[in-house]
Structure 1
Amino acid sequence: MSQAVKCLILLAVVALLFVTELIPLAITATAGAISCGLLGFIPAKQVFSGLSDSTVVLFAGMFVVGASMFYTGLAQKIGGVVVKMCGTGENSLMFGLMMVGTVLSSCLSNTGTAACLLPVALGICAAAKIPASRQLMPLAFACGWGGIITMVGTPPNIIAVGAMTSAGLEPFGFFEFAWIGIPVSIAGMLYMMFVGKYLLPKVDLSADQEIEQEIEAASTSSTKQIISGVILALVIITMAVGIPGVSLEIAAITGALVCVLTGCLTEKQAYASIDWVTIFLFAGMMPVSAAMDTTGAGALIADWTVGLMGGSPSPLVVTAILFILSCGLTQFMSNTASAALLCPIGIAIAKQLGADPKAVLMAIAVAASCAFATPVGTPPNTLVLGPGGYKFMDYVKCGTGLVIVAFIVSLVVIPVVWPFFPAN
């Protein structure tokens, strides 16, 4: 049996464990990397190389900087002010919630954003006598599409960057995702305002229903709120401007250190704010991605896939199929795992066609964040399930149309911004 076939078998096992989650995702990814070393797919010294990748440092730093916004209460304050400014009308409140959810989740945790805005939305709904079921799902969806806008907004974006780095390709820039993230966000808001809202149920909830909040504000000090806001702004500006000698990870970690030193959050809270599952899943799948390349497993998958599509399919067709596959998987499994599985395959298929992999990878990453059609696809969807009084089919009815909108926008925008055959 060839090394390529052995690698494919290993990948199939990893995929099965990702889908079923019989064991934790981070353990699956790490075990996959170790297996690649033991089976000789990659050198032993490369097994844990993902942990030393600078992208891991960038992600960890931004987790901490973002968490300081929640621990100081600034994120909650911003959400409350914006939503109240929009008024208590059903349409204006929905727009306000989606707007603030989109903006905050572009740089902060989408789960944390949904959690801090949930009680704000419920309070206003109760006062204005508006069914919360008409507001919470749009909020959850906004937290999902908002994450597409920046590199650190959602794990699939980071996974795509890691796959490119592992393949020796020039990775996406920090704000490059905004080229598709902003159009998807605008289209999503328009869909919810003019179509989606008519598919939402009207559920009357009991007044004493318990509200769970994922991240509680540990401080209400206005000084610390200002400091955390300034730190986040400076970090983002530094990344956008591109100061010579100051890389993205240096900016993120410096911001994280200043957050702790100024008391915006404690050292313990900083450690707790890092999503270690994402970190280890990312670090574990990088060696697996490398193994797919070195053993030829990725090329085998690419040959098989291209053969099924007629031997010389259009890159746009390939992009559409991978978008559908990524989006389908992410409705029921971790979006991080979906992206981690498909990004190396996408690169191999693009190379097989002689096309630039950027468009394919962007489609996979965006699709992995379009977990709108089920309550289990992404944490914000799950978070509003109980408080909104939703049923599974409510997500299917409202979210499926949103997925189609994101699909259409992506197939129009992505090839224009990232051409399959760029002129050199």
Structure 2
Amino acid sequence: MPADLAIVLGLLVTCIVLFILDWPRMDIVALGAMVAMPVLGIITPHEAFAGFSDPNVVLIAALFIIGEGITRTGIALQVGRWLARKAGNSEARLIVLLMLSVGLLGSVMSSTGIVAIFIPVVLNVTSRMKIHPGRMMMPLSIAGLISGMMTLVATPPNMIVDSALESEGVEGFGFFSFTPMGLSILIAGTLYMLVAKNWLATGTTVAGANKRRRTFASFIEEYRLEQRAFRLQVPYSSDLVGRTLGELDLRQRNGVNLIGIERMGRGQPRLLNPISQTEIRPGDILLVDLVTPENDLQKFVEELGLSVLPLEGSYFSQHSQNVGMAEVAVLPESAMVGKSLVDRKFRTEHGLSVIGLRRGGEAISGNVAEEKLRTGDILLVIGPWKQIDSLRSQKRDFLVLSLPVEMDDVAPAISQAPWALASVAVMIVLMVSGWVPNALAALIACFLLGASRCVDIETAYKSIRWQSIFLIVGMMPFAIALEKTHGIEMAVSFLMRVLDGAEVHVLVAVLFVLTTGFSLVISNTATAILMAPIAMSMAKQLDVSPYPFVMTVAIAASAAFMTPVASPVNTLVMGPGQYRFGDYMKIGLPFTLIVMAMCVVLIPWWYA
């Protein structure tokens, strides 16, 4: 064995061992190997740093930004709610819906892209269902990889083997030629994950972390709001119709604090922040807080011609996109000390209502608006998230102490959701049509998201998972090093000598193993480029149809289930799923064997 090849293989084995030990961080290991190869004279510095200019790296970074845009506009949350609603409390049903959705959608767009988009969706759903995200991220990754087996344009290896056929004067594959095999593997993968999910993380890590943060429901309980808050509907005959809140002055005249107004708009209710100019309309639902316990709700309702509606504990959570809660401490130097909320016109100035007051750890009953505030008092405020966030800048007067878990679901750019959908649609059309490279299509979508204010520059940079980017960039030079040291060429020559005279099923099995093995350490695109000519050559020597052999290469190149560096799809889910290197082997190895068995049996039958 040449010395330079021995060095490359030694570095590769060292990386894999360190990946398995999970120390140091995987991106540090990969970057270390990237630096070592040019220092040792295996590759040039230009070749070592080539990954930074690779279009796939740019594509992955852009897709992180697109995923953030989907999250910030609330689309991911809505899809997650649909999945959670359809799945109910069934983890198995969620796996089925998730894998089928990702597998089918990924058949017409980048598998990396569809996984990046679904990661925030899955995190939302697992948080709501109180299950560990690791139990869903692996099904997501596997479905993303399988989606590359569904159509001709689903992944580059498919187009590479198609080109290899045409270069030899053989008719290429059709758009749906891959679908029978891909759909069969998707069904098998879904059934497999229904069993393999039991080998993944258990417990409720995310939920457990969230228990340290309060929820809307816990705020309501701690501040004793259950008996004070009500929903009151305004009929057409009510005396309130057509009058502004400034005219009504409900607090002074009726002892009622108006928290919000629920009003129908575009087919669904929205919770409006009440201001003095707001005019009451028929059908409005007033969310009120009786500021003194002695107030007679029935008398108030009868006087103004209102009807009482139920107020369930989940009400505020259902409206968390429009309304927020927070605990705010009054600081020693605050201008609020010694003054009441009414004196300081708190709601007028800050756009928030105070619905609770705690002093010395105890909730204060009565009309908190008239209470003279003291240093250290804690106010429970309710209103738009934007106004709550603005209190953070009032560092002389207030300290925002506690924000509820529901804030994690807030979409700050929810009104821009149609633009986000349009941006993603443009990307998909460009990718499917092939008018521009995938990386350029993703960058165009990023610019559209920025122009439509779905994301801003700061958010875009923060959304990129740089650890994943550097891990991929650091591993890319291994492909160049193995090619330059003739390692791949030597392995192929040996293979052809050993397999001389073997039957088709055996050749398919060995071709699958070899292709999958290469795809674990180099990109599936590079693997397909190297293996497609070998597959064609094997078919020529046997004087048989080349279709089973090149189809095997395409499927095996996408069957990169066994390591986090085998595919960008696997790398994307590693952090959110809290996986270690061994988790991929534990789940990926059995399924790879299942896929290989399906290829050995089905490919010679369907594609002969």
Q: 1:117 maps to which residue?
A: 122
- Higher relative contact order (Cα pairs below 8 Å, separated by 6+ residues): 1
C-alpha contact 1:102 1:146 (8 A) present in aligned 2: yes
User: How many pairs are equivalent?
Assistant: 375
1:11 to 2, 9, 12: 9
Q: Residues 107 and 147 of structure 1 are in contact (CA less than 8 Å); yes or no, is this contact kept in structure 2?
A: yes
Aligned-partner Cα distance in 2 for 1:304–1:324 = 17
2:139 to 137, 142, 145: 142
Residue matched to 1:302: 492
1:20 to 18, 25, 28: 18
CA 100–351 in structure 1, closer or farther in 2 if over 3 Å, else same: closer
Q: Distance in 2 between matches of 1:290 and 1:271?
A: 30
Note if contact 2:134-2:577 (Cα within 8 Å) is conserved in structure 1.
yes
Could you tell me which residue of structure 1 aligns to residue 597 of structure 2? 408
2:438 is aligned with what amino acid? L
Aligned partner of 1:316 in structure 2 is 508
Measured after TM superposition, the shift of residue 241 of structure 1 is: 1.9
Q: Deviations over 1:328-361 (max 9, x none)?
A: xxxxxxxxx9342888678656656735896565
Supply the AA of the counterpart residue of 2:125.
V
Residue type at the aligned position of 1:362: A
Deviation at residue 253 of structure 1 after TM alignment: 0.8
**Pair 26,208 (structure 1): closer, same or farther in 2 beyond 3 Å:** closer
Q: 1:276 to 1:41 in 2, by over 3 A?
A: same
- Cα displacement string for residues 206-244 of structure 1 (whole angstroms, at most 9, x for unaligned residues): 99733599x95562543222222221122011211233x
Q: For the structure 1 residues 305 and 28, does the alpha-carbon distance in structure 2 shift closer, same or farther, using more than 3 Å as the test? A: farther
After superposition, the Cα gap between the structure-2 partners of 1:100 and 1:321, relative to the gap in structure 1 and judged at 3 Å, is closer
1:269 to 459, 471, 492: 459
* Aligned residues of 1:302 and 1:345 also touching (Cα < 8 A): no
Residue 80 of structure 1 and its aligned partner are, at CA, apart by 0.8
Residue 455 of structure 2 aligns to a residue in which SS?
A: coil
Q: Determine the C-alpha separation between the residues in 2 that align with 1:303 and 1:227.
A: 53
Secondary structure at the aligned position of 1:209 is classed as helix
Q: Secondary structure at the match of 1:368?
A: coil
Moved more, 63-72 or 399-408: 399-408
Q: How far apart, CA to CA, are the structure 1 residues paired with 2:29 and 2:13?
A: 9
Matched, 1:65 2:66: yes
Once residues 218 and 253 of structure 1 are traced to their aligned partners in structure 2, the CA distance between those partners, rounded to angstroms, is 25
The within-5 A match list for 1:223-262 is 223-243=415-435, 246-262=436-452
Does structure 1 retain, via aligned residues, the 8 Å contact 2:137–2:573? yes
The change in CA–CA distance for 1:275 and 1:55 in structure 2 (over 3 A counts) is: same
Distance 1:274 1:285, change over 3 A: same
Where 2:209 maps in the other structure, the secondary structure is coil
Q: How does 1:388-403 map to 2 (within 5 A)?
A: 402-403=591-592
**Identical residues among aligned pairs (%):** 22
- What are the superposed Cα offsets for residues 382-417 of structure 1, whole Å, 9 maximum, x if unpaired? 85689xxxxx99x96x87765544333444566789
Aligned to 2:559: 367
1:340 corresponds, among 499, 519, 522, to: 522
Is 2:50 the counterpart of 1:49? Answer: yes
Q: 1:344 to 1:255 in 2, by over 3 A?
A: closer
Contact 1:299 1:349 in 2 (8 A): no
TM-score for both structures, normalised by structure 2: 0.48
Shift of residue 261 of structure 1? 2.7
1:210 paired with 2:209, answer yes
- Residue identity opposite 2:55 in structure 1: S
Is the Cα–Cα contact under 8 Å of residues 104 and 113 in structure 1 kept in the other structure? no
User: Take 1:412 and 1:27, find their aligned partners in 2: how far apart are those partners?
Assistant: 42
Structure 1 distance, partners of 2:521, 2:18, is: 16
More strand by share: 2
Distance across 1 between alignment mates of 2:190 and 2:430: 29
Deviating more after overlay: 71-80 vs 54-63: 54-63
Shift of 1:177: 8.2
Q: Which TM-score applies when normalising by structure 1?
A: 0.65
Unpaired runs of at least 5, structure 2: 168-172, 212-404, 539-545, 565-569
User: CA contact under 8 A between 2:105 and 2:147: conserved in structure 1?
Assistant: no
Give the conservation status (yes or no) of the 8 Å contact 1:301–1:345: no
Q: Residue 290 of structure 2 aligns with which residue?
A: none
* Structure 2 counterpart of 1:18, one-letter code: I
1:63 and 1:177 map into 2 onto residues whose CA distance is: 28
Equivalent-residue separation in structure 1 for 2:41 and 2:199 (angstroms) = 53
Larger fraction in helix: 1
CA distance in 1 between counterparts of 2:464 and 2:431 reads: 20
Amino acid at match of 2:11: V
Q: What secondary structure does 2:13 align onto?
A: helix
For the residues of structure 2 that align with 1:280 and 1:180, how far apart are their CA atoms?
34
Change (3 A) 1:211 1:97: farther
Does the CA contact (< 8 Å) of 1:102 and 1:142 recur in 2?
Answer: no
For 2:420 and 2:550, locate their aligned partners in 1 and report how far apart those are by CA, in whole Å.
34
Query: 1:7/1:159 Cα in 2 relative to 1: closer, same or farther (>3 Å)?
Result: farther
Give secondary structure in 2 for the equivalent of 1:113. Answer: helix
Counterpart residue type for residue 71 of structure 1: R
Contact 1:160 1:339 (C-alpha < 8 Å) held by counterparts:
no
Q: Where do 1:56-95 residues align within 5 Å? A: 56-85=57-86, 87=88, 92-95=93-96
Q: CA 1:207 to 1:352, structure 2 compared with 1: closer, same or farther past 3 Å?
A: closer
Question: 1:206 & 1:27 partners in 2: Cα distance?
Answer: 26
CA distance in 1, matches of 2:590, 2:49: 41
The answer to whether 1:187 aligns with 2:188 is yes
Following superposition, the deviation at residue 182 of structure 1 comes to 4.3
Is the deviation greater in 404-413 or in 233-242?
404-413
Structure 2: which amino acid aligns with 1:318?
Answer: V
Q: 1: CA distance between counterparts of 2:429 and 2:423?
A: 10
